[in-house]
Amino acid sequence: MRCLLARFPFWVFFLLCGLGHISTRSGLGCAMSAFSDKEDEAVVKTMKDFGPIQDAYAFFEAHTTEEVIIRNELERLWRQDGALSLPLSILDFGTGAGDMLERFLTQLKIPKEQLSIGVVEPVEVAREVAEKRLVPHSHGRVASWAAIPAGSVAPFDRILSNHVFYYVPDVGKAVADLKHVMHEGSKLYVVMASDRNHLLVAWNDYFAMLGEPVPFHRSGELEAALGVNRLDYEVHTVHSELAFEDTLENRTLIARFLLGDDNFRKFKGDEATQYLGRYRDEASGQIIMQLEDHIFVAKRKQ
């Protein structure tokens, strides 16, 4: 088992969230209480608190192929785009504790002398961990902010944002802020689940069952915001899977992961876990959910 404290796994992140301090992540399920960052006074609202569901999030991570598939597709796109012409500056918007970016940089094997890194993460404790974790990959210090600074900032060659846009308060403003740190040749890579992703289908169905609107942004809103901000973009689609043994305990973990405990508790009886039965594969005795994600690759109009 990996050294948990050294790696600052997300369960620590979640635990801290539980203390009312920060937000948390998942492929789809990042969640925040409203919080205020001390330095930047950034206030972010969210509809799902991940603090109490770290076990459910860890279960999701352990049973999905999503991150590896996204990293591999990103690497293919980056190399195809000539992204590895060096030196390179990279910004990770909504980096969390930097886990995914660190694994991606390790995979890319860019010499640290050739790489400058910036991170944006409104959760202070996570941002500090990301900063420390990424130092070994970066030439000089890692630039780190709670939000994109309004003033003058050197632009980045590549900007990554993996499963973050569901939770930003204003998608149009987030895209405008990122455009602010792009030069003519910069590329922006934003990953969001497609509407066909079974986790998003489940969000729709669950909140319909509750008679409430889904409280998270969708990829369609990102597309509109890219257009409004006059960014050209293309979309690449990747497929991965969530598969787990079909037990009531496991169904409960995934339902809680999707809904957060507050919403999960709104369901009467076993409605929320029953729902997942539609994804049961009789041959294997597993629940198998197909995950479809879009990778938006955007650049300034020439």
The residues that touch ligand SAM, with contacts defined as CB under 6 A, are 23, 25-26, 30, 44, 93-96, 99-100, 120-123, 126, 162-164, 167-168
Contact of 48 with 262, CB cutoff 8 Å: yes
Minimum Å gap between C-beta 42 and ligand SAM is 7
Q: Which residue, 123 or 273, has its beta carbon nearer to ligand SAM? A: 123
Q: Which residue, 164 or 289, has its beta carbon nearer to ligand SAM? A: 164
Minimum Å gap between C-beta 278 and ligand SAM is 25
Minimum Å gap between C-beta 174 and ligand SAM is 6
Minimum Å gap between C-beta 279 and ligand SAM is 22
Minimum Å gap between C-beta 56 and ligand SAM is 14
Minimum Å gap between C-beta 147 and ligand SAM is 6
Sign of CA dihedral 118, 76, 241, 212: positive
Q: Which residue, 126 or 142, has its beta carbon nearer to ligand SAM? A: 126
Q: Which residue, 96 or 198, has its beta carbon nearer to ligand SAM? A: 96
In 10 A of CB 67, how many CB atoms? 18
Please write down the long-range contacts of 133-139, taking CB distance under 8 Å and 24 or more positions apart: 133/8, 133/97, 133/98, 133/99, 133/102, 134/98, 134/101, 134/102, 134/105, 136/112, 137/102, 137/105, 137/106, 137/110, 137/112, 138/112, 139/87, 139/112, 139/113, 139/114, 139/115
Minimum Å gap between C-beta 169 and ligand SAM is 6
Question: How large is the angle between the packed helices 10-18 and 54-62, nearest 10 degrees?
Answer: 160
Q: Which residue, 140 or 169, has its beta carbon nearer to ligand SAM? A: 169
Provide CB contacts within 8 A for 38, sequence distance 6+: 124
Give CA–CA dist 45/35, Å, rounded.
7
| In the complex, residue closest to ligand SAM by CB | 25
Give CA–CA dist 280/225, Å, rounded.
37
Q: Which residue, 51 or 273, has its beta carbon nearer to ligand SAM? A: 51
Tokens of 175: 């895209």
Give CA–CA dist 212/207, Å, rounded.
5
Q: Which residue, 40 or 249, has its beta carbon nearer to ligand SAM? A: 40
